[in-house]
Amino acid sequence: MQKVAVFTHGIDIDGYGCAVLANLAYGENTQVLYADNFNLDEIFIKEWKRGWLNNFDKVFITDHCPSMNLCLKIQDDPQLLEKITVFDHHASRLEEQGSLDWVHIIDNNEKGKQSGTSLFFDYLAKNGLVNRGGSVQEFVELTRQYDTWEWTKLQNPIPNELNTLAMAIGREKYVENMTKKLSKQKSIFLFSAQDLLDIKTYKEEFKKQVEHYISQIKVIEFQGNKVGYIQIKDLFKNDIAQTVRTLPLSKEIDYLLMPIPDRGTVSLRSIKPDFDVSSVAKENGGGGHKAAASFPLYNLKIDTKKSFCKTLENV
């Protein structure tokens, strides 16, 4: 069995899903390293310099893409170039890195919007390392729907439940539990009784925290747009955005601007459907998708006292 190193996104279930698939495909021969939004290059270069990558037959980067500068360095190393493959779905990287034949950046294809997990699954299935159909493919589809937000359009709550479970039990336990579950459940994907209890308990506490954050949102001017500004913890960003889209506030702002000190990033979530937050992220040294993007916290230049418009009194 080949020895495999996987560098994947470490802050959401799409990145976690890639780790689960690698475990299913390569078993104990898999080593996974997690990277945040903006430290992939740093982590990869560290392992490359110390010779750790020499221990592996294949190196995958999933739900992430190295900078063009790092890609060019990899191009100059024939030994590494022969065994590395990137699977990413963030369109902001497509213009430059998409020209490299070992970097696969696919935002949309004939199957619809893609995620890191769905792209990695297609590769593994094509090479006979995982089977199509059954619980594994259902898990991949649930992950894809959550990461692309198609679950909201399809009115399918299960992808959101899957994400809630990950938040409730944490990344390491989630990857371990999903690997075991999918190894045993061959036909359909099912939550266990413990999964459902963890989800229920977490939701109750989570809802209280989301409501508290929303009550603290300030409406400010930022780079020519009216936005909702709130400093948060990373795990609340999507639910805050989802809730705000249902409130009267949604008619006042273009998007949410959410500094996240625990991740060193600023998360952007569109509120008006036609507003492209990836363009804002790109202007500030980041990237992402039309509805969800981010940029490094150190690039945020804002004076909330001068820009302040109002604070919500009630949720």
Give, for all 315 residues of the chain, the pLDDT tens digit.
Answer: 799 999 999 999 999 999 999 999 999 999 999 999 789 999 999 999 999 999 999 999 999 999 999 999 999 999 999 999 999 998 877 777 878 999 999 998 888 899 999 999 999 999 999 999 999 999 999 999 999 999 999 999 999 999 999 999 999 999 999 999 999 988 899 999 999 999 999 999 989 999 999 999 999 999 999 999 999 998 899 889 999 999 999 999 999 999 999 889 999 999 999 999 999 999 999 999 899 999 999 999 875 544 444 433 333
CB 86 within 8 A of CB 67: no
How does DSSP classify residue 52? G
The pLDDT, as a whole number, for residue 150 is 94
The pLDDT, as a whole number, for residue 310 is 42
CB 135 within 8 A of CB 185: yes
User: What three-state secondary structure class fits 267?
Assistant: strand
The pLDDT, as a whole number, for residue 99 is 84
> d(Cα 167, Cα 191) in Å, to the nearest integer?
15
> d(Cα 136, Cα 182) in Å, to the nearest integer?
6
> d(Cα 225, Cα 311) in Å, to the nearest integer?
17
SS3 content of the chain, % helix, strand, coil (to 5): 50, 20, 30
Q: Which backbone phi and psi does 29 adopt, to 5 degrees?
A: -85, 10
The pLDDT, as a whole number, for residue 303 is 59
The pLDDT, as a whole number, for residue 111 is 83
Burial class (CB in 10 A: 0-12, 13-18, 19+), 270: buried
> d(Cα 246, Cα 224) in Å, to the nearest integer?
24
The model carries a pTM of 0.75
> d(Cα 68, Cα 95) in Å, to the nearest integer?
10
CB 37 within 8 A of CB 86: no
> d(Cα 299, Cα 22) in Å, to the nearest integer?
34
